[in-house]
Structure 1
């Protein structure tokens, strides 16, 4: 079903006129209630807005918190759309003397392309407003993973982008900011309907929806960029365990992500990149990142790969996380049985832990991969890593063209967000530990020796790396050639990770 464009435009005008923004909603119910919402509790926000019938409060109560109202109250708050328009858009239904929302329409702000981007996102009501377990066909709104992936998307202009597993369409909307066209796919008809609705509601064209799994809907086509927050959750394949479309790809273990990695090269244009989130299993005697490396190697199209593991969970913690995510609370009926089903499933494959992280894959324009980086970065990071990731790829390509002599002839500067920390034992003149701290990007902290610390400190855009290393070798009374051989590979890594930059 295609939503009525005129009704979507009317609703957009009503939401704009009422000032229904993320900031206005937070201000309306207050800081404590807003924090409660982030923890899945809607009661404080409802209490804060109780009795208010101004347009903003009514929209917060009806469209954010899914509260039912008499038709005339909604007609006043939404003069162009009216309660009949909400019903026609399948966002609400009649319920006796009331009109009851069956979807949420929530304001969403996102930092993108150097500024704040505002959208309204329609989706199914979440656990904050639904009492009990969610339906298996639930279409998720914008959550933490959605924001993480949106922030990982690069902002450079491209022609075509593929959004695999689009859900409510948030990644497609984000991709359209820099793409001429976006194809958004999902196995869920309901999800595709929400994506159409959200594109129309926000006045965004150029997004095409197609139904199907993984790359089936675009077989034979190529894209400049692929983004995906796929249904990667490892779910037991046993009776009694609900399979939620938004998080469960229907395969055993981590096979969904494995299939994505093995198959994405076929839909990437040369130099095209894929950006996704995923889980991977650690099995007895087998490291999770090694498993991902095997998936990359199994691709029929050679791929560059940069995999960043952000979190590692034990089987019990993973099971409890996703049982609660489905709306089954600890202590409630069925909770223990569901957790035990997860643990039995993990035991059957000798799973010892589950990793979560970011996957960046690229089809090399030359056909020959040059990047294979598999790492663990568990420090908290800010959203909006897309620019850093894109810059790191550009630096990697520049470094591939530089031999050691070329790197030694390069003039470098220290990135503006880098600081140094020195730790001394009591009474000692020389530091026992020297660390470089990165304020942005992945917030890395690396330990360096005095020679590398001196080199980084001297990179001010004046002298090239080679003469600086020679001067440091003389100061430390060490062999200059040996110091170059030791330092230059680490300089390459500092450039890739963003501690240093080409002047």
Structure 2
């Protein structure tokens, strides 16, 4: 998939919201805030059960609740119900109801902005416009209350999605938000911006963001969303380019020759069978990269270092194929061969070809046409079989263009159980610990047990000693570590009073009286175990211990 990279500055793209009408954008944001069309406002109005169901794309409970609210004597309650039904539930409304709910922008203004269609006094949503936000410091930055426009989803509109569908706030986008390490950056890149979710968060801790996409409609939605939320994002609508550059083009082509401190990407990583003679118009641009197999992710991993400043990081989501009989990380490891780049792959899920096909055919509502579904399902299975693919992995990727002061990191982990969210701060802390160990003298360090760590001991009834000793993390990646007897003894003595060298010497003396051990081998093995516990956050330098 190739396309010439160009600056995107137009506010008027066919079949996309208009961002060149600043007075109407201001009126719309004023009206939405006045009726509490916010995350908290909608949640309070619908109630916990209906709001939770709406989060699962189940509309019926919210339809029932909003229907009752529409008959309220309170005009503000009726106004919120009308807007919820219009944009979240895709229920047509009367012109009178929308004019009353949004008195400054009114129905005509919404139509001019390309958000609704009006016919015979009935207002129909052309887009999904929903509240979005986060609490202060939830992602390492300040909080925000925003609105996000995207195309209507499969549960809101009949038929198969259009191939240039602009995806809204989905699980993948929020996963990337939560996994991103939030540090101040001078220049950031949002690769494959979609409707702009990642850019919103980047603007809170980055001086300038370049947002790219292959889809002109996606960039139009992003521009609309940025300007609608300009005050909350600290943007000057008259000089958007001072902080945000929108670039049209494929993959890294739009930023060739540029360097960034941070790159985030939720790329079109879905593995889709390629048909002979297929053109981009036959692909779903929001998810299909247009390359065979997992090559879209592979190509980004192989070339990402070319757009990173020294020490710069990249975080992305991706799929990778697992060839039958191989380990899941064999292919990602091959992508990294010959590169001077740090990497950390965390596989969160692995599914078989059948489940993968079912997931993505349903995602685009392709299961609504039985004949098309059968043909497409078979194409998926044939495509995977042609490469002997036995499974497809999904996970998170962290990369860094290393400099001399940083640790060499090559990690592949499979973590399929629930982890703490947002996980970004914990990933950042883990990298910081790895870098700290490069310059630190571990034997001369005083360590303490991290505050979220607990110990479990298991033994057979009547046994004198435990057969299994486990350390568990209650936060972050929530790892479990199986300890040897000597390492368990070391951890139990880590109160910040003695150095690692002193504790190791004490253990050596105690165990040496009871066992025949080689001092050098003992210390080497113990220090390796301690270093791993520090890397994973079970043990931390004493100065990091929080004051109660």
Relative to the length of structure 1, the TM-score reads: 0.94
- TM-superposed CA distance for 1:181, in Å, is 0.4
Match of 2:275 among 220, 227, 238: 238
Of the three residues 346, 349, 358, the one matched with 1:320 is: 358
Moved more, 349-358 or 320-329: 320-329
Task: Tell me the equivalent position of 1:99.
Answer: 123
Distance apart, 1:22 and its partner CA = 1.6
- Distance across 2 between alignment mates of 1:286 and 1:207: 43
CA separation in 2, counterparts of 1:330 and 1:472? 67
Q: Which moved more, 1:213-222 or 1:34-43?
A: 34-43
1: CA distance, partners of 2:36 / 2:123: 22
Structure 2, unpaired ranges of 5+: 1-9, 12-18, 71-77, 236-242, 543-548
Deviation at 1:135, TM superposition (A): 1.6
**Is contact 2:159-2:365 (8 Å) kept?**
yes
Of the three residues 58, 70, 82, the one matched with 2:106 is 82
Partners of 2:369 and 2:480 in 1: how far apart? 41
Q: 2:238 maps to what in 1?
A: none
After superposition, the Cα gap between the structure-2 partners of 1:250 and 1:238, relative to the gap in structure 1 and judged at 3 Å, is same
Question: Aligned ranges for residues 189-208 of structure 1 at < 5 Å?
Answer: 189-203=216-230, 204=233, 205=235, 206-208=243-245
The alpha-carbon distance between structure 1 residues 33 and 140, as it changes in their structure 2 partners (threshold 3 A), is same
Q: Does 1:432 align with 2:467?
A: yes
Of the candidates 350, 370, 376, which is equivalent to residue 338 of structure 1?
376
CA separation in 1, counterparts of 2:483 and 2:146?
44
Paired residues of 1:379 and 1:442 also in contact (CA < 8 A)? no
Residue in structure 1 matched with residue 503 of structure 2 by the alignment = 468
1:137 positional shift: 1.2
Partner residue in 1 for 2:260:
223
- Determine if the alignment matches structure 1 residue 119 to structure 2 residue 146: yes
Query: Structure 1, residues 394-416: CA drift from partner, whole Å, max 9, x if none?
Result: 111111224xxx21111111111
1:314-463 correspondence to structure 2 within 5 Å: 314-329=352-367, 332-366=370-404, 370-402=408-440, 406-463=441-498
Quote the Cα distance in structure 2 between the aligned partners of 1:234 and 1:371.
28
RMSD: 2.0
8 Å CA contact 1:147, 1:383 repeated in 2: no
User: Residue 406 of structure 2 contacts residue 435 of structure 2 at CA under 8 Å; is this kept in 1?
Assistant: no
Count how many residue pairs are aligned between Structure 1 and Structure 2: 498
Aligned match of 2:349: 311
Deviation at 1:172, TM superposition (A): 0.7
Deviates more, 1:340-349 or 1:106-115: 106-115
- The 1:424/1:156 distance shift into structure 2, 3 A limit, reads same
CA deviation after TM superposition for structure 1 residue 281, in Å: 0.4
Distance 1:491 1:114, change over 3 A: farther
Q: Secondary structure at the match of 2:162?
A: coil
Task: Name the residue aligned to 1:282.
Answer: 322
Taking a change above 3 Å as real, the CA distance of residues 367 and 486 of structure 1, as seen in their structure-2 partners, is closer
Question: 1:500 Cα shift?
Answer: 1.4
Question: Deviation above 6 Å: which 4+ runs of structure 1?
Answer: none
- CA deviations on 1:64-105 (whole Å, 9 max, x unpaired) are 222221222111111222112211221112233212111111
Partner of 2:538: 499
> 2:48 & 2:106 partners in 1: Cα distance?
30
CA distance in 2 between counterparts of 1:11 and 1:494 reads 53
DSSP 3-state at the match of 1:297: coil
Say which structure, 1 or 2, has more relative contact order (CA 8 Å, 6+ apart): 2
Aligned residue for 1:338, secondary structure, equals helix
Number of the residue aligned with 1:176:
203
TM-score for the superposition, normalised by structure 2: 0.87
Unaligned runs of 5+ in 1: none
Q: Which residue among 297, 300, 303 is the counterpart of 1:260?
A: 300
Partner of 2:66: 49
Aligned-residue offset at 1:369: 7.2
Query: What is the distance in 1 between the residues matched to 2:315 and 2:117?
Result: 38
Please state if 1:162 is matched with 2:201.
no
